[in-house]
Structure 1
């Protein structure tokens, strides 16, 4: 009996000790969590919040979930970029007869859907390889791209986007003025504009130099944007311009499918006009194409591109051409454009006449539909003023220069 009583006392003591230890551990954990929350709010907001306040608690919780979501997106982007998965391989291999089309995507699902609807109708689209280059990870856009069955495609993601760096460089910063970087008007950094230049330069480096499926590809690569719209003969004209360049203008660095302001008269003449001319300031940056040989020449002068004080990648490229290619970059282009801009803008915007609403573009394309597929061409050499190399500014932050140069030195997928 005494033995049983002693055993009960021992087990009771062990039980109470265990329960007490668990309660104490929970107490310490709760105390630690409260301290972390208090320190976080003081450090992040630079002032104290009362966590008894429901609104402050919700704010903290939402921000924590946002940071977790960014971490998940970064992990997903790293996986996709390094795997380099090509979809719809049953349509055939990627070779030098393939139409390689890069589509720079941002966050406008409507524009991208409109572009894909137009591309689906394009002749020879099943021989195309689409490269979607994103600077914004969107589940809705990814879902839309997954529905593509008419062409081979791959998705790549710019890893230094504002979305993934919301409060630090190269995204927006609470205080963008750093040592060696003046904050006067005209010099203040615009992270969105800077991202545009970084993204285009990054994608060109990755596609030409680090995309496995294109390592032996030597034909020109066409660069579009999500807010573009194309005619059904866009690839036919694109191939025609490649031949015209090789025969009549081997010194022309670029091919353009959208260099001129659209006009119905350009499509109703007896012959389609292929123009050889300078890539000037008033011409759009969209729908240009160039091959690996030209890219190697551009990359060899990377410092000119990366240090030119302008956030516009096309003006930076034109400036590079004005130095590298003996004065200008020359285009082989069709006078009747096959690629159009969709976005709306006001009359004060530079090049606004080149941009239209979706409905207006579709109406225009319907008007010229009977005059597509040129059966003969006429070569015309256009004389124009040289490129105006005046810089627009907003590209003085040395960190932008360093990041731009970094993309040319090594493979950067994450």
Structure 2
């Protein structure tokens, strides 16, 4: 009965997001069930590991979030994302079969904002991946948009799930976690910018969902590839990942696999597609196409409090500071020389105001077109017979700069801790 209900709801969700009376009934039913759950965080650390007991979380989430009035449309979207996050629907299961938790089954997790041309581009690249029909692609949104939903739900080539970060600026436009006109400028670091703080909060929320809360992944021990909306993947990414996993299992079980890099464009023609390096983690070049597993989740959970309280708004540089000052062992990586994940975001968070003026269409974004051209010209070297480690671990360990700032607001600390507590 439950399976039949979810199948019917899945079909209705694809056809009519906004107006179906059936969906409204489902919303209220799910709301009733959700209200029976604890709506606040009460954590005293008993019967838990020392690392978790050190979090001492007792601030209810609702006490952190702004109670400022919002339009009825925002209230309605809040309700929808609660329901959808609880249902965890998988689209295209009727075409590609049920999701397998076999170790070799890859899961792609893509963090999205609102740049539709880039979202369309990464979907285009995923469509060309050999073996993608065996995978699950999870899109984690911080903007609820019918246009974006239509793009995602138009995918037919793989199983797809959508989850929605519930504490976004869109959901709280008139107060924390969004911009709050009553906030005083914080003297520490570079001050709080909601759009930047949201990226780190979204990242750790998504990470915790993947490793603790998404039901279909509870027994999944396979690779989880973390991507963002302005990434572009090569057709042999799953093939290369499988080859690299063999090396990881044999030579460095603790290594984190890195499938992305930022090579200068003049080096692109000379990259070796069958080579990789074994080195120390450094976030500046190792933050893209990270393949993370349950072991890494355990390592991060031991430093959860530090992750949430260090004055650094970048999630990747936060990992770097943990790597130097909190993790029991420095992270080691296995990293491909020729990226299977490319950064094509000429128009992103750190783009200057003048540069953003020319970011309207893909035709104006040179990097994306250049990467597409490169991949078309490199089909003969993709899918190498073997991957070879040509650079071994060196003794020198990269040092870390001082934290950048932007993460001194105690509300960000508390909200982050409330999210990460289950990790």
Distance 1:167 1:338, change over 3 A: same
Please tell me whether the aligned partners of residues 197 and 313 of structure 1 are also in contact (alpha carbons under 8 angstroms).
yes
Length, aligned pairs only: 337
1:187 deviates by 4.1
Work out whether residues 266 and 336 of structure 1, in 8 Å CA contact, stay in contact via their aligned partners in 2: no
Give a deviation string over 1:174-220, Cα, whole Å, max 9, x none.
Answer: 1321xxxx633734211111000000000111110011000001122
How far 1:309 sits from its partner (Å)? 0.8
**Counterpart secondary structure, 1:283:** helix
User: Is 1:156 the equivalent of 2:163?
Assistant: yes
Structure 2 residue runs of 5 or longer lacking an equivalent are 1-67, 353-364
Can you list the C-alpha shifts for 1:386-405, whole angstroms capped at 9, x where unaligned? 24151001111111110000
- Computed over aligned residues only, the root mean square deviation of the Cα atoms, in angstroms, reads 2.5
Matches within 5 A, 1:41-80: 67-80=71-84
Contact preservation (8 Å) 1:98, 1:128: yes
Counterpart check, 1:376 vs 2:420: no
Q: Of the candidates 360, 372, 380, which is equivalent to residue 362 of structure 1?
A: 372
Q: Distance in 2 between matches of 1:385 and 1:407?
A: 31
Deviations 1:105-144 (A, max 9, x none): 1001110111111111110000110011001101101001
Match of 1:45 in 2: none
TM-score w.r.t. length of structure 2:
0.75
Work out whether residues 234 and 338 of structure 1, in 8 Å CA contact, stay in contact via their aligned partners in 2.
yes
1:328 Cα deviation after fit: 2.9
| Separation in structure 2 between the aligned mates of residue 395 and residue 185 of structure 1, nearest angstrom | 8
1:167 aligned onto 2:179: no
CA distance in structure 2 between the aligned counterparts of 1:236 and 1:292, rounded to whole angstroms: 21
Equivalent-residue separation in structure 1 for 2:310 and 2:249 (angstroms) = 31
Deviation at 1:326, TM superposition (A): 4.4
**Structure 1 residue 333 displacement after superposition:** 1.1
Which 5+ residue runs of structure 1 have no aligned equivalent?
1-62
Asked if the contact 2:274/2:387 (under 8 Å) is kept, the reply is yes
Q: How does 1:4-403 map to 2 (within 5 A)?
A: 67-90=71-94, 91-92=96-97, 93-96=99-102, 97-177=104-184, 183-184=186-187, 186-252=189-255, 254-261=256-263, 263-267=267-271, 269=272, 272-326=274-328, 328-344=330-346, 357-379=367-389, 380-383=391-394, 385-403=397-415
**CA separation in 2, counterparts of 1:376 and 1:154?**
32
| Deviation by residue 1:44-91 (Cα, 9 ceiling, x = unmatched) | xxxxxxxxxxxxxxxxxxx99x71110111111011001111111131
Shift of 1:222: 0.6
How far has the Cα of 1:360 moved from its partner? 1.4
Structure-2 separation of matches of 1:356 and 1:276: 31
Tell me, in whole angstroms, the C-alpha distance in 1 between the residues paired with 2:303 and 2:188: 29
Q: CA deviation at 1:323?
A: 3.1
Aligned pair in 2 of structure 1 residues 371, 134: CA closer, same or farther (>3 Å)?
same
Rg larger in structure: 1
Task: Provide the C-alpha distance between the structure 2 equivalents of 1:343 and 1:124, rounded to a whole number of angstroms.
Answer: 26
Contact kept in structure 2, 1:343 and 1:356, CA below 8 Å:
no
Contact kept? 1:220, 1:292, Cα under 8 Å: no
